[in-house]
Amino acid sequence: MILLKELDSDEFSNYLRIDYESLGGLLNLVSLLMAKQNTGMRESITAEERLIATLRYLAAGRDYADL
């Protein structure tokens, strides 16, 4: 996620409620479980993008529709 890489560490932690190093460790743990295959119709969402969307949803504490 290009936009997240532009954030400094405090902004990143505030946005996802996790620091960048912990995100990398968590991604290493769950990436094989979250990875999907590309198809002829579309490219799949990466494990990193899925994890970031999930963490943002959990950090926001709002409804799914607010995403």
Rounded (5°) CA angle 54-65-37: 45
Could you tell me if residue 16 is inside a domain? yes
Would you report the helix, strand and coil content of the chain in percent, each value rounded to 5? 65, 0, 35
Instruction: Look at residue 66 in the predicted model and tell me its pLDDT.
Output: 66
Retrieve residue 23's tokens: 């995100």
Could you tell me if residue 12 is inside a domain? yes
Could you tell me if residue 37 is inside a domain? no
The domain of 20 spans 7-32+45-60
Could you tell me if residue 22 is inside a domain? yes
Candidates 52, 45, 62; CA nearest to 22 is: 52
9-66 residue pLDDT tens: 888 888 899 998 999 999 999 999 988 999 999 999 999 999 998 998 888 887 767 6
Candidates 60, 53, 66, 63; CA nearest to 23 is: 53
Could you tell me if residue 54 is inside a domain? yes
Instruction: Look at residue 41 in the predicted model and tell me its pLDDT.
Output: 92
Could you tell me if residue 25 is inside a domain? yes
The band of 8, judged by pLDDT with boundaries at 50, 70 and 90, is confident
